[in-house]
Copies of this chain bind each other. A is one copy, B any other.
Amino acid sequence: MSATIHRLDARPQPSLDSMVKLVAGDLNLVNAVILDRMQSEIPLIPELAGHLIAGGGKRMRPMLTLASARLLDYTGARHHRLAASVEFIHTATLLHDDVVDGSDLRRGKRTANLIWGNPASVLVGDFLFSRAFELMVEDGSLKVLKILSGASAIIAEGEVNQLTAARRIDIGEERYLDIIGAKTAALFAAACRIAAVVAERPEAEEAALDAYGRNLGIAFQLVDDAIDYISDAGTMGKDAGDDFREGKSTLPVILAYARGNPDDRVFWKAAIEGHRSRDEDFEHAIALVRSTRAVDDTLARARHYGQRAIDALGSFGPGKAKDAMVEAVEFAVARAY
């Protein structure tokens, strides 16, 4: 008897296709809930919410709820409403994020705050957040409500933590991991964990799915951070250099700063404080993250969390769902290459 060992270097060209295919039918039902529950008598609400919700997101978090439910052979329908709730929480945070960052582009489209203004984005975010809780209340599980209200509080704390770290070069890797653990990974973890709750599985399986989602979320975010220093606009729908020009202390910057010589540190400090945003500055930044191996090692960190995500699934039996969830991790960490 031999165990199946999933290693991150397994597939040459991993994609999200297996997961998309696995949950396609369920995702249609989730989308129907989303469309139905973003309606309101106030026309601006579905108009603004629809711009973002229909705007080309991957539905990563609801897909994780659905795939996790598949992994557990759950045959009910409760996860459709809850996956929609998770997507509403995510959409609300994106709306508020774009206000906080003053962003004007998301997923290659103009942001809602640019089109309708900050006040509308704040308030429609609040509406979607309330709707998310209404959906959970309709489901009726206090355990799910506890998981998602807890995740929401942690996300908000992470956002405030990030805000107080803004434009500071000296935040360090540990605090940065705290921030993305709260901002990004907490909802990935909750999205997976609630599938175990609706499937009425033991705490150990809840914890395993939580760990899968949490580590995947961190890996996703770290690869996003790395991509900002290697991709070009054509490939990712996100301009390389956005984080740099916005003065974000992401892990590539934190590592390059820590490993740099005194001149490099002067440069990074000025850049993060907003005084180095020309194209030449970004080219210099790219050169520094390369020479210090800061991007390579950001991706190495991502692979570490990706492998932990895969190993968290170890106790679940083999099958299409598990394969798709493993490949999603491979995809997450391979996007940068």
Contacts and interface: CB of A to CB of B under 8 A. Distances in A.
Interface residues of A, number: 43
B156 A123 contact: yes
Contacts of A133: 133, 145, 149, 152
A3 interface: no
Nearest to A92: B126
B120 A149 contact: no
A237 interface: no
A47 to B, nearest CB: 10
A45 interface: yes
B127 A156 contact: yes
A42 B179 CA distance: 11
A153 B131 CA distance: 6
Interface stretch (A104-112, A158-166, A260-268): A158-166
A145 B322 CA distance: 35
The winner among A122, A145, A161 for most chain B CB atoms within 10 A is A122
Contact of A122 (B42, B122, B153, B161): B122
Nearest to A165: B42
B130 A153 contact: yes
B123 A100 contact: yes
A125 B127 CA distance: 13
Say whether chain A's binding surface is mostly helix, strand, loop, or mixed. helix
Given A149-B133, A153-B131, A153-B134, A120 B160 contact: yes
B137 A156 contact: no
B100 A163 contact: no
A160 B44 contact: yes
Interface string A112-141: 000000111011101101110110110010
A118 B119 CA distance: 10
Interface in A48-90: none
Interface string A271-312: 000000000000000000000000000000000000000000
B119 A157 contact: no
A99 interface: yes
A157 B133 CA distance: 15
Contact of A161 (B42, B140, B142): B42
22 contacts: A42-B160, A42-B161, A44-B163, A44-B164, A96-B123, A99-B119, A118-B118, A119-B163, A120-B163, A122-B122, A123-B163, A124-B160, A126-B156, A126-B159, A129-B129, A131-B153, A133-B145, A134-B153, A136-B149, A137-B146, A137-B149, A145-B145
Interface of A: 40-45, 92-93, 96, 99-101, 118-120, 122-124, 126-127, 129-131, 133-134, 136-137, 140, 142, 145-146, 149-150, 152-153, 155-157, 159-161, 163-164
